Structures are given as structure tokens and as C-alpha cells.
Amino acid sequence: MMHYSNWLIGVKNRASIRNACKTPDTEWSNRGHVLDMQNNNPQANRKTSELAVSTHLCQRGYKVIKRIGEGTFSVVMKTQSLKDGKFYACKTMKQTINSLEQANNLREVQAMKRLSPHTNIIQLHELIFDKETGTLSLICELMEMNIYEFIQGRQTPLPDTTVRLYMYQLCKSLAHMHRCGIFHRDVKPENILIKQDVLKLGDFGSCRSVYSKPPHTEYISTRWYRAPECLLTDGYYSLKMDIWSAGCVFFEIISLNPLFPGTNELDQVSKIHDVLGTPDRSLLQKFKQSRAMRFDFPPKRGSGISRLIPNCPAPALSLLYQMLAYDPDERITAEAALHHTYFREIRLAEKRAETLLRTVGTVDGGEGGGTRNSLDQIWRPVRHGRQVRGRHARQTPLMSHNIKHTAEPLMRRNLPHYAAELPKLNMVAPGPQIPYPVSTLPALTITHRGTLPAITSKKCHPRLAKPRDESHRSALKTYYMPPLDRKRGGY
């Protein structure tokens, strides 16, 4: 218990130092929001004004419509392009930028360029830099709302199909990020944007390369979604922290309430142990290696996640436990989560859609639909001969058939399938040859002068048939067959 008290004192001392250095932010304080001190600029709010932002955006062809939100390091506004009339989200940094090169070297800009394009990643449309004021604005695609706004004040739970669809897209965005060598470090409902049924991950200001060596920034991520390795170590964490945060978001979408709403770091650890239980000593040894002081936790069994959401389907609960594994080494990866049983129906629907797109792309001569795929389309009815057996085969030459199929693919798709085979030739196979008595046939001598005379059947048939019949009759012999006696009605 003494070690636990020392650990509590150390946590409070580090928290007090950080709170003294950070800029107060009342907007996100109730959501457990914390600051990343690497980009904190106390003078940013004074230098950035809406009038200056509107002026330099108007000069670049964008009209400010309204303010969408404001965070610690940026202001987000809805803008309209004066060129095409489309609406975009403009994220203006409060930090002063000295040059365009520095703007392009920002982590958020680099990450968005590397991750683009992807269906579930916010697309960067344009980068606007004002050299006179040092203001940088990111013109991004505009979404309807974020997950927090979507579930805020909702009384009835979301349909399981909606939850499954959103979580599948979130796992796809994280899998894409991790494959590209980047992990987000601040996955939370406010940074997950939706537009109808499409989900996109945004706000890459805290992202980091997966190849960077720890220790990383210790005071990172929003507290409610911070993984245990971020709370219990001095910055020794990896991309698995994104999976823990996604698991917390998963629970919040299902239950409409946060899973671990800690008021401080100690309370955050305590709430995690209340649900998952106190980890074993062997697991805690991994975390102790990176922290100077020793600490012990009071043993807790944990209530379990299933008691908090009793109506949760079993596949969803299974994935939730795997995403919220206390040990990061045992935590599921984003790529493996996509292949979980919970997403089976979505995967099957995706495969059907991909097959349809490949078929349409092949017929339209799209990308990847070369000669080979075209030939596959032509010969597909032949491969399924049983299905077209009995149907009328079009008697068309092969060359003209292929040209017509290639030139009119869409029209042919709606027509019944015909076997694209060569027309069969009606040829009679020669039978067994019978020796003919040629010697009995009289020689036919015809004299003509330049043209052959017409031969009538009256003169040929009687003369040829008579000697042939007589020759056969002379070769035959007569035999006598005695009659058979009938016995009891039979033979």
C-alpha cells in the first residue's frame, strides 16, 4: 500500500506541473481533453482573428460561411469555393508558420498527403499559406457531424447494423494508417466524422510514425480513451494504443455513454480496473520497467464489460474484449479486427460489390479490364455449358461475333446468353466400305463435243440394275430349314 501511495503522489506532482503549463480550454474539459505540449503556443489566439482568416481565404477563392468548431490549436469553419460552388471545411492553425516549407513539413499535412486517397480518411483538398500573417489553412472535405454530436442526447440505442458499419469503417481507417507507418494517438468520437453512412477519421495533428523509437510524448491522447500503457509508462507505447481508443469508442457508440470517464490519471486507472480488473504481476512488470518508482494496485476482480451492455450481441462483445485487452501484445490489430466474425456480413457484401465492379469495369473496358478479361467475358457461357445446353446457338462467324461482343458489351449483358462456339458442320461420317463387284458394271463411254450431254435416269437405271441383280442372284445358294414342332403352346 505504501508503494501505491508513492505512485499516487508522483502522478499528482506530474499532473500539477502539466496543468500549470497548459492553456485552459473549457470546451473540452468535460470530455477529458488534454493538451500535447509539443505545439502549444500561448500567443496563437491573439494573433489569429476571424477577420484576417476571412480576408486571406477570400483572396484565394473561398468564402467563409460560418464557424463549425474550435480546438486548442485550430479553428474550423465552413467555406464555399467561389470557383465551383462546393462546400469545404477550412481548418486554420493558430500556430504561426514562417514559410511554406515549414507548412508542408507539419505532421498533419504530411500524414494527410501520405494517407490520401482513402475512403475512410479525410481528404486534403488544398493548402493555403498566407506569408504576411503566417496563417496556414487546410481546405478539407466537409462532413455532416462527428460521432460525439451524433450520439449526444440520444435516448434509444443505435441499430446494430449502424454500429457494425461505423466500426468496420473505423477499423479500415486505422488499418490503412498502420500499414502506411502512422498511428493516430488521439482516436476519440470528436475526431471521427460521419456523413450519412460514410465514416472518416480526421485530425492528424497528434499522429506519429510507427518507426520512431520510444519514449514518445507521455501526456498524449484524450484521457478517457488513453490506453493503460500510456497511463502507466513514461511514453513507452505503440500503435496498439489506437485499438484501445477505438474499443472505447465502440463501447460508447453501443451504450451512448463513455466507458472510462476518469477525472484524472489516477481515477482513469481506477475506472479501468473496476471494469477489467487489476492485471497480474507479470503484466505489470512490463510497465514497471519504464518507470523509476515502484507501484502496486489494490486487487480488483472487475465487473466485466458484458454487465454494462447486457443486450450486446456475442460477436460484438467478443471483438470489444479483444480491442480492450489490457496487455498491448495481446490486443487485436486493426487488420485482424476487419476479419472478425462481427464483420462477416459486411465483408461478404463488399466481395459481392467488388465482383460487380470488376465485371462492370471489364465490360466497360475500364482499368484492369484488358483483353484477357474481355475474353473471359466472351467465353464465360461456354464454360457453363450445362446452363446453355438446349438453347439455340447463334450461327455467327467467330470474327464478327467477337467484334460485336466487344463493341456492344452493355447491350449484350441484358440479352440471354448464347454459347459462343463455332457452328457445327452437318457432315455424314463414311460408314464401313462394302466391296462391290465392279467387274459386272458395264463401261460407260460418252462422246461429247465441248460440253457434257445431259444424262437422264430412264436410260441408266434399268441397264445398271439388271446385271447387278443377276450377279448377286447367281452367287446365292438355296437351303432347306425343317419346321419346328410346337410344344405346349410355345416354340
Catalytic residues: 186
Contact 107, 91 (CB under 8 A): no
Q: 91: annotated binding-site residue?
A: yes
Cell of 408: 456492344
462 membership: H or E segment, kind and range:
helix 457-475
Residues 106-125 as b or e (16 or more Cβ within 10 Å = b)? bbbbebbeebeeeebbbbbb
Query: How many beta carbons lie within 10 A of that of residue 217, not counting itself?
Result: 15
415-433 b/e (C-beta count within 10 Å ≥ 16 → b): eeebbbeeeeeeeeeeeee
Q: Can you say whether residue 375 is alpha, beta or left, with left for phi > 0 and alpha for psi between -120 and 50 degrees? A: alpha
315 backbone dihedrals φ, ψ, rounded to 5°? -60, -40
**Cβ atoms of residues 361 and 368 within 8 Å:** yes
Instruction: Measure the CA–CA gap between 404 and 397, rounded to whole angstroms.
Output: 11
Neighbours of 318 (CB within 10 A): 15
Among 64, 238, 248, which residue's Cα sits nearest to residue 139? Answer: 64
Q: Which three cell numbers stand for residue 424?
A: 457445327
Count CA within 13 A, CB hemisphere, residue 282.
Answer: 0
**CA gap 420, 424 in Å, rounded:** 12
d(CA 276, CA 253): 19
Binding residues: 91
Binding residues for ATP: 91
